Amino acid sequence: MDSVLHGGSTAPPVDTRERDGGWSPRLLVSFVSMVLVLEMLSCSYLMVSIALPELSAHFHTNQGVWLVTAFLLVGSVASPLLGKLADTYGKRLLLLWCVGLSAVGALISALAPNFAILLMGWSLTGLLSPCLFLVYSLIRDVYPPRTIAMAVSLSTTGMGLIAVPSPFLTGWLVDNFGFRSIFWFFVITLSLLTVLIRFTTEESPVRLRSRIDLVGALLLGLGLAGVLIGVSLGPNWGWTAPSTLAYIVGGLAFLVAWWFQAKRTRDPLIDLALLKMRPVAMTAISSGMCWAVIAAFTVLLPMMAMTPGEMGLGYGFGVDATGYAAFQAPQAITTFVGGILVGAIVGRVAAKKLMVVGLVGMTVGCLALAVSHDSRIPVILFAAVIGFGGGMGYAATPNLLIAAVKPELQATTGAIASTTGNLFPAILPVIVFAVLNSHIAVTVEGSTLYSETGIMLGFLVTAGVALVGLVAALAIPNRFTQVAAPTR
């Protein structure tokens, strides 16, 4: 039992020929299993977003976006801790714990009798988020060298096995079995993947000893939660209401306390010395903005497409969950194509340039949707452009980080990028919904419909975030030397 809990020796060791050569059957199963975990991470946004209208109506809430926000908040706070633990105790071990606990969270969600329990369960499933850096840093440590670039690129964008058909699967599940069927799908799939990874993937031999900063995690978590709650509920409470100001000001105070604590702690939750390194900092910001745009987009698009066109709001196509697949599937395909492109050419074209191109596409796509959202075909095309840009951004991120730091810092640095990759997506949908909730057109049978101005502003805010990410990507140095652990 101890070997199972601590990632012991029951998994077969990788043969030296595998390290020196290419793909073996066992390595292929290992890779597909880990890619499917990340596909489940990607599907978590999509599936919940598609089910959000039915789910919100069932629980009589207009705060359904907190399912996305809480999911990402847990990932944001947990990532630095898990990064340190992974570098200390093993990346595969932490990957197994994350996937297993995510399955438990999905089970709680499937059985939830009220929205609060549902939110608690889905928050625990947010431990899927750190799996992103755990997977690509584990690939970096144990896969054959000539397979790493393509494997890393594909792992962050998926192999298309779930991303393309998932809108159709989601529509079928929701329309025929209700929104709870989504959570049962996660329970079953994540449980199976935990077993497959356990017996096909080697543990990383790379270790970095450090202390775990629990105080920093508490301060950062309280700070982020306070600000997000204040921003989310501000439109309902009033922006000058004492409760709104208390949450926002209190959250900012905790964040300031965390910053000073991190400067004085020997092994802080997020190493500020690493953030001073421009390749790491700018990659973290640009990738975080990329994830934020997709998180907001996957909430905005189904809401816009599922709104009945006869309401006369200037948008809406009245599709059900199954019909929405026609909007989502092209985006999923182009996301996959963007990742494939990066994996194929990253050895000849700098990852920075690929990140820049991706964010340009995302900015243009969001601006186009802000201006034009009343015709089906243009909306689908603009969504595909955003997906392609997102795929390029996802795949460029780990390649940039692998080039920036030594192997012993891969998980720690990946955790920093994962923190921004969860923090910004946690904040942006809340901001977008704060804008939307200030432009409510009508409420029908518990479902809130927003004005065209609100939808336009939502996409403009999202485009602005993509533009900030583009500026950060342009600031990544063209040439830099791979660094080891910084000295303070």
pLDDT tens digit sequence for 164-211: 677 778 878 888 888 899 999 999 999 999 999 999 988 888 776 667
What pLDDT band is residue 473 in, cutting at 50, 70 and 90? very high
The upper half-sphere exposure of residue 129, i.e. CA atoms within 13 Å in the direction of its Cβ, equals: 37
Q: Which residues pair with 448 in a beta bridge?
A: 443
pLDDT tens digit sequence for 422-470: 778 777 887 888 788 788 877 766 667 888 898 999 999 999 999 999 9
Spatial CB neighbours of 285, under 8 Å, sequence gap ≥ 6:
420, 468, 469, 472
The per-residue DSSP string of 202-235 comes to PPP---------HHHHHHHHHHHHHHHHHHHHHH
86 and 418 Cβ atoms separated by less than 8 Å = no
Locus of tokens 């298309």: 160
pLDDT at 390: 92
What pLDDT band is residue 139 in, cutting at 50, 70 and 90? confident
Indicate the range of 10-24, 25-39, 65-79 predicted with least confidence.
10-24
Please calculate the CA angle 346-352-357 and round it to the nearest 5 degrees.
90
Q: Where are the domains of the chain?
A: 2-213+265-474, 214-264
Spatial CB neighbours of 464, under 8 Å, sequence gap ≥ 6:
none
Q: For domain 2-213+265-474, give the CATH superfamily.
A: MFS general substrate transporter like domains (1.20.1250.20)
In this prediction, residues 332-355 reach a mean pLDDT of: 87
pLDDT-above-90 percentage for the chain: 28
CA dihedral 86, 90, 95, 96 (to 10 degrees): -140
For 196, other C-beta atoms within 10 Å of its C-beta total 17
Closest Cα partner for 351 from 415, 279, 418? 279
